[in-house]
Structures are given as C-alpha cells and as structure tokens.
Amino acid sequence: MEVKLHDIGEGMTEAHVSHFFVKAGDSVKADQPLVEVQTDKMTAEIPSPSAGTIKEILVSEGTTIEVGTVVLLMEAAGYKPEEKGKKAEPVSAAVSMSSAPAAPRNRKRILASPYTRKIARENGVDITEIEGTGAAGRITDEDVTRFIEGSNTVQTQPAEKEMEDQATETNQGTAESQESIPFRGRRKQIGMKMKSSLMTIPHCTHFEEIDVTNLMELRSQLKRADTNISASAFFVKALSLALKEFPIFNSRVDEEKEQITFIREHHIGVATDTEEGLIVPVVKNVENKSLKAIHSEMKEYTLKAKENKLTSKDVTGGTFTISNVGPMGGSIGATPIINYPEVALVSFHKTKKRPMVNDDDEIVIRSMMNISMSFDHRAADGATAVAFTNWFAELIENPNLMIVELI
C-alpha cells in the first residue's frame, strides 16, 4: 500500500517533510500519525489509512516533496502474499497502480511552480523537456524563457563570472564568521507563494490615513462596561460592510475563462506573526457575525497560531486578507503582497497622536492611523480603490454610523 502526500490545503502543491513518527518495521494502527509535514500555511500530520506494518520509507526528513509523491510503503494488516492473484483481483484494482511494472515513482519528477507551468503551457512547451537550473533541479521561469528562445543552457557573462569569483574569494576568507539558517518549511513556502503572487497579479498600492480617535473612545466606553472588543474586530467588520458596497474586492479573476467572479461570503484572513513565519487564519462569514463573535474568533485563532495548532479548515477559504502591524510599532506604511488568488489586501499601521486641522480651522490632537491597500489592477482601478477606502474610513471615523449599518 502506498501512502502519498495528498492535498491538505487550498492550492497546495508541495510540503516540507518535518518529521517521521515511524520507521521501517513498525506496526501501526488506523489513523495513527505517520509523518509531519509543513506547508506554507500550517503543520499537518499524515495518518495511516489502515492498521498494518511499515515496509519502507521513501523520502527523507528535511526534503520538500510535491503533492502525489509516495512517502512510504506499508503492508495492511491481514495481507497474505500467497493469496495475491486469486480472488483478490476485483478488490486489488485500487492498488494495482502501486504494483504495476511501470511504477510512477520511477518517472522523472518535474519540480516547477504553478505559474512556471502556466508559462510553459501558454507557449506550447512540454515542460518535461526542460532542464531545470533551480534547487534540486527545479524548473524556473527563466528556464522556460530560455527554452522558448531556443537555448536551454545558462550563459554566465564575463562580468558576472568575475563578480562570482570575487564573491567566492571573499567568502573563503570569511567562512568561519558567516552564519546561515535553512530556507525551507513555512519560510520557503511563504517565499514561493509571494513570488507567484507578484508575478501573477499586477499590484497597485493605495495609501490613506484614518482618524481613529472616536473609535478609541468607543472602545474605552465598552471596556468600562466590561465589554472588550479589539480594534482589529472593528476593522474586520467595517471592511465587510465596505465589501458589500464594493464587491469587486471580494472576487476572483480568471484570465483563462475571461471572467471575474464575485463571492457573496466575506471570509476575512487575518495575517498572524509566529516564530515559524506568517500564517493567515480565516474568520468565516464575517458579514453575518457580531463584533463580539469576530473578536472572540480572532483571539482564538491567534492563540492557536502561536501554539501551531491551526487546522486546514482554519486557514483555507479566505476571500480578503488584512495585516495589522500597528501594535508592533514602527510601521507607517508598506506595499503588502496580495494573498493570491484574492484581489486585495489591507494593512493597518501604527496609530499616532498628531496635530490636525479640523473643519473649523482649529488645531486639535487626533489619533491617526495609516493604511496601505494593495489591489489587483486587473480587477479594479485606483478610483474604485479610493472610493472603497473612503467608505471604510467613514465607518471607522464615525463608529456610530457602523452601528447604524448593522441594524
């Protein structure tokens, strides 16, 4: 019986093998964890499909494998080799692929991102004919481009070669003082997803400042009434109200089908910083939830993220993402990368008291917060993004208006 890496997350294509819980010869029970893998969103365990014995482990810890890769072989409990080929033929059809002479795992593995495969497909190129120059033979976008142009070899220019030689000489002299960390697991998955997003989506970032003085006062009043609701919960709810008015930012762009699909449900992803890297738990159906419910769910997800206990259900299905870096201090602006295949992301930066001029031309002290909104320019233009953030700002600056919208 083959145990494979299956798709345990939305859009997942590969995972990092972190740790095996078993070794060859071990007896296991059904649903017993066999191996721990790390995707760009979470840590997950692959369970045993049945009781049996581990026969052979085919991949090593610390490697990155694609979905569909055979991780290990096991023998199901009660299996009798001498009965093979008799009455077992009808029920063995499902596993005949693993025992067929032309075993799939002897086939050349093609390592390439979905975007790289898309480039090859759109240009009529058979990606199996391309020689990859990336890590572990991975085929890069540049490899596909060179193949299309008629050359599948890497040419190093003299100036570049000279710089490489100089870098090598420098490195040889300072090797003992250098330090490195592994670029794998969640960090590598995040990097690959961000690169794919930037190469697929034409990003455009819009900046705005919002007066949150009234919101802060409302929160203080609620605290005095023993009701604590985070500013992030207000932001999430206000964004949901804004998405009702501007549904284009809660959509999906499909270039192949030449259509933009609007999504009715507002599943807001909340970017959360952890020791292993950024992860985005998703608060589902925000449009139907109260501020209290949103606050409670966000608090729970943050705790689960810190303890690395998020499940696949917790981190999939997002339609819009926020990143609240304000509490970390220091940030006054950014150009956030969209969480593909979503079409927009809003980042909230630090709140700072500043002198402002009010409508009566008086200088007053107000609590001001900067926001950055990155959006997919294929789906919307700058004017629509400005209108969206203007309405969001109106709701935040006048929280009573938000309450009226909720009635």
Coil, helix or strand for 321? strand
The one-letter amino acid code at 47 reads: P
Task: Provide the Cα torsion 122, 124, 128, 129; round to 10°.
Answer: -130
Question: Which residue in 6, 19, 206, 377 is the catalytic one?
Answer: 377
Could you give the CA distance from residue 275 to residue 90 in angstroms, rounded to a whole number?
A: 50
Q: What residue has token string 């078993």?
A: 22
Structural tokens at position 145: 């481009």
How far apart, in Å, are the Cα atoms of 40 and each of 186, 192, 274, 309, 332? Answer: 5, 9, 13, 14, 27
End-to-end CA distance of the chain: give it in Å, rounded: 57
Tell me whether strands 268-270 and 320-324 are parallel, antiparallel or unpaired. parallel
Q: What element of type H or E holds 363?
A: strand 363-376
Buried b (16+ CB within 10 A) or exposed e, 223-261: eeeeeebbbbbbbbbbbbbbbeebebbbbebeeeeeebe
Strand partners, 345: 321, 374
- Nearest Cα residue to 200 out of 318, 324, 357, 376: 376
8 A C-beta contact, residue 371 and residue 346: yes
Could you give the CA distance from residue 337 to residue 264 in angstroms, rounded to a whole number?
A: 23
377 counts as catalytic: yes
Which residues carry out catalysis? 377
